[in-house]
């Protein structure tokens, strides 16, 4: 299935940072929202952009074919 855009990207990235997460998975349609965040919010967070749930599965379970 397709991964649809979400709201509150800024708040979700801030929450991930506070939880000391280094990576977040975001819908590809939200790439611009992430890119427009101030650098101090994006710093230290690697965003992985996905279009399908298969993309999510491959990222989360890279050795599981």
In a domain, 50, yes or no: yes
In a domain, 43, yes or no: yes
Look at the chain and report how many structural domains it folds into.
Answer: 1
In a domain, 4, yes or no: no
Per-residue pLDDT tens digits for 29-47: 999 999 999 999 999 999 9
In a domain, 25, yes or no: yes
In a domain, 22, yes or no: yes
Between the alpha carbon of residue 16 and those of residues 1, 57, 65, the distances in Å are 25, 20, 28
Residue 25 pLDDT grade (very low, low, confident, very high; cuts 50, 70, 90): very high
Tell me the residue range of the domain where 29 lies. Answer: 9-60
Q: Is the pLDDT of residue 18 over 80?
A: yes
Structure tokens at 3: 């991964």
Q: How far apart are CA 15 and CA 17, in angstroms?
A: 5
Task: Report CA torsion sign: 20, 22, 25, 30.
Answer: positive
């Amino acid at each position: 299935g397709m991964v649809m855009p979400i709201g509150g990207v800024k708040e979700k990235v801030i929450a991930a940072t506070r939880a000391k997460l280094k990576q977040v998975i975001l819908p590809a349609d939200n790439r611009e929202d992430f890119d427009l965040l101030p650098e101090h919010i994006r710093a230290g967070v690697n965003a992985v952009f996905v279009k399908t749930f298969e993309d999510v599965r491959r990222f989360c379970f890279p050795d599981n074919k």
